[in-house]
Structures are given as C-alpha cells and as structure tokens.
Amino acid sequence: MRFITYNTKNFRKIEYIRYLPEEVKREIDIVSRVIPFKTNNYVVDHLIDWENYLDDPIYILNFPNKNMLHPEAYQKVKHALENNLPTKELTEIITEVRMAMNPHPANQVSNVPHLNGRELTGMQHKYRDVTLFFPSQGQTCHAHCTFCFRWPQFTKELDLKFAMREIDQVAEYIRQHTEINEILFTGGDPMIMNPRTISKYIDYLIESKIPNLKTIRFGTKSLAYWPFTFIPEYNEEAGEMLAMFRRIVDSGYHLAFMAHFNHYNELGNAILSQAVQNILQTGATIRTQAPVLNHINNDSEVWARMWKDQIGLGMIPYYMFIERETGPYDYFSVPLAEVYRMYQQAAIHTGSFAKTVTGPVMSAAKGKVQILGIIDNPVNGQKYFMMQYVRHRDFTKTFQPFFMHFDKQATWVDQLKEVVPQEVMAI
C-alpha cells in the first residue's frame, strides 16, 4: 500500500492522503467533523508504521477513528452526512456532539484575567506566578493530536477560542502583577508562527524590561511533529528561530522549551536529534511532558524507554499527566490506580533521572493534583489514594497531602470521595 501526500507551498501542512481504504477514509471524514483533524508529511513519512497502521501509536495519536466518539454520536453524524442534511442542520448536530464532550475542562474560562476592566481573552492566570498567553497567529498546530484537551481552539464554530494579539496589554498585566515571574506561550502551538511574527511578541517583552518577569516558556509539539522548524539545513527560517532563542537567553531570561512527546517512536530519528541539539545550543532547556493515553502509551515500558531516550538526547522529563476529561476522553482514559502503578514501574526502571518527573498529575479545576501513593489500612481493610496539589489556585494549599477513598474504576479526581477528618486519624 502506498501513501502519497500533497504539501502546501510552505511545506508545513498536508492536504490529503490517498490510498487509505475507502472505509477508513470515510470513517476519518465522519469523526473529523467533530474532532479536528490535521496531519503533515513528516508524521506520515517518518513516524507511522504503515504496515500496521491501525495499531500504530502515532497513527492513533493523529488520525481519528469512530471509537473516539460515542456510538450514538457517531451514528448521528454519519446519518446526517449520508442524507446530505442542510449545512445548518449538520452544524447543529456537530455542535451538539461537541458540547457534550466538555469543551472547557477544569473550568478554563474562569482563568481569564482582566486589565483595567477589560477581559484579556488571550490569557489565562490560574497559578500565582505564571500566566499563559495564546497569540492569535499560533492557534493551530503542525498536526492535531486526537486526544488534545485544547481541541476547541481549532473549532471556529464553537467560538470558544482563547486568543489575542495585544502583547502590550499582556506586558502591562504582568507588570501590574508582580507575583508573576513566568509567561508561557501556548495554543495551539506557538512554534507554528514564523520567527518574525513570534519575535514581535518576544522583543516587546524584552524591551519592556519587566523586572518580575524571569522565565519565558513555549508549550509545543513541534519537535515531535515538525522538527524542521529548528534545522536551518531544511528550513530557511530555522536560523531566525534559533537566533530568537539566543536573544532571549542573552537578555537574561530562562528559556524553557516545554516539549510534548507521547511515545518513543517520536524520538528515534536523526532529524529529531539534530533539532534538539540545535535548541539546546541556544542556552534553552527542554522539558518533556505528556498524558497517559489508552491505545497509545498505557504501558510502563513505553514510559521508561521514552524517558531514557529523552534523557539521552539531553532533555529533562518533567510531567506525566492523566488525560483530561474532555473530547474523546472515554477512548483514551485509564483508571487512576493503573496510571499510578504505571508511573511507579516506569520510574523504577528509568533510574535516578526519573526523579525529575512529577506524576501522575491531573490538571483539575483547583489545580494540579498528584497521586502520591495507594495506601492500605490494615485496621479497617480500606484503601486510599494519597494525593497533594503541586499547583493550586491558592498557592498556600500546595504540597499538603490528603486522602481520597480508593476506587479502582475512577479515571478522574472528581469521581473520588473525600476522606473526612475523623477517618484520616484511622489511616
């Protein structure tokens, strides 16, 4: 079977993939009306094993399938398409399906800050010392992950996007809030922007000389999905991008490149290795993070090998997340107890360098909740999850252990029952 891709002029996006079986193409067409779908020729040509593509982790990560929708939702969209319903009716059906998929988990909209009475719709300020910035031109990606908790950013019909261009207002907000010392450029993917565009944001921050701003971070999947962004031999703009990174470091900021890798298959080629080394040579650090995903990386051996490969390349394993309760959550979620044991075994087999990993962690409404362990009480025969917030809206509540009743089926913290104070004494 041969797969042919057509590329746009800038060699970034794929437009179409031919010669997939017709039933698979039809399935992708139906599901992608709900879950945003986009891939590129690097993912297709370098990362996917097309001899076993239906079980390939990167294929599942990038290509939607019908099991990612509830059966009734899939049939509803399929029926609408097969019967050529008017666009208005089709859009209403798709919107209904999407809204049932929890488009804003952890109440993200409550994180939007205000400056002088105006809502800053392209920012989030959830944790005391860091603010998120969603530059308008960076609200897409080189390819879309099927599990992505930010999928509403790519669905214009929902009008739920975080985005803005006014970096002057971002800078003023940070200046007024002296507790903020980090800004995280996120999306979408800020590395989808060309270096001239992103430099306008960066240079404004540098020239503003905000005394409390110490760290600039980029949250990105670009190393996994389009490493050419950082290799001048392949991309004429890469030199400008790397020069911008050096400018940030030379200006006295800590530059943290937050790289998303979901499987070790994204790490095993010379193109990726060269991109990583080019970034590190600018003085930036690269920290890695990903959620545990059923069908993709729900195996401790995958995580151990992934962390070892990242360490070997000079990257720092940072977060092991639990998949957020949004989008095709039922397809990708794994019970908390299984995730904890997976983390435990992966850390044991990675060795001392796994100590840099914070996990497993849920980004919930109040903050990032870490599972510290599963406790057996020999007195009452009960089990408990021991947890703590490594991040909390109220920073004074971080790193305070607490207990939740054990539930082997639970996949999210909201499904657990709190242990009341009198019970704690018995644990």
> Contact, 316 vs 356, CB < 8 A?
yes
CB atoms within 10 A of CB 372: 16
**Alpha-carbon distances of 17 from 33, 41, 224, rounded to whole Å:** 17, 9, 20
CB atoms within 10 A of CB 188: 27
13, pLDDT greater than 90: no
The model's pTM is 0.91
3-state secondary structure of 263: coil
366, pLDDT greater than 50: yes
3-state secondary structure of 92: helix
| Residue % of the chain over a pLDDT of 70 | 89
> Contact, 219 vs 186, CB < 8 A?
yes
- Report the b/e string of 210-229 with b at 16+ CB within 10 A: beebebbbbbbbbbbbbbbb
DSSP code, position 329:
H
How far is 317 from 312, CA to CA, in rounded Å? 11
Q: What average pLDDT score do residues 272-282 get?
A: 98
> How is residue 411 written in tokens?
């996949």
> Contact, 237 vs 202, CB < 8 A?
no
5, pLDDT greater than 60: no
Query: Among positive and negative, which fits the CA dihedral 361, 362, 367, 370?
Result: negative
* Sequence ranges of the domains in the chain: 5-99, 364-427
Burial class for 115, CB neighbours closer than 10 Å (0-12, 13-18, 19+) = middle
DSSP code, position 420:
P
> Contact, 219 vs 34, CB < 8 A?
no
How far is 353 from 1, CA to CA, in rounded Å? 41
Burial class for 107, CB neighbours closer than 10 Å (0-12, 13-18, 19+) = exposed
Bridge partners of residue 123, in order along the sequence: 133
Tens-place pLDDT, residues 170-227: 999 999 999 999 999 998 899 999 999 999 999 999 999 999 999 999 999 999 999 9
DSSP code, position 378:
T
Tens-place pLDDT, residues 46-59: 999 999 999 999 99
Comparison of pLDDT for 251 and 19, the residue scoring more: 251
Angle at 334 between CA 329 and CA 336, to 5 degrees: 120
- Name the residue type at position 73: A
Measured torsion, CA atoms of residues 169, 173, 174, 176, in degrees rounded to the nearest 10: 130
How far is 55 from 176, CA to CA, in rounded Å? 50
- 90: confidence class by pLDDT, cuts 50, 70, 90: very high
351, pLDDT greater than 50: yes
- Name the residue type at position 346: A
How far is 161 from 152, CA to CA, in rounded Å? 6
Residue whose token pair is 């947890």: 387
Residue whose token pair is 């179409």: 16
- 203's CB contacts (< 8 A; 6+ apart) are 247
3-state secondary structure of 248: helix
3-state secondary structure of 271: helix
Three-state SS string over 389-411 comes to EEEECCHHHCCCCEEEECCCCCC
Tens-place pLDDT, residues 122-165: 899 999 999 999 998 877 899 999 998 765 665 655 444 455 67
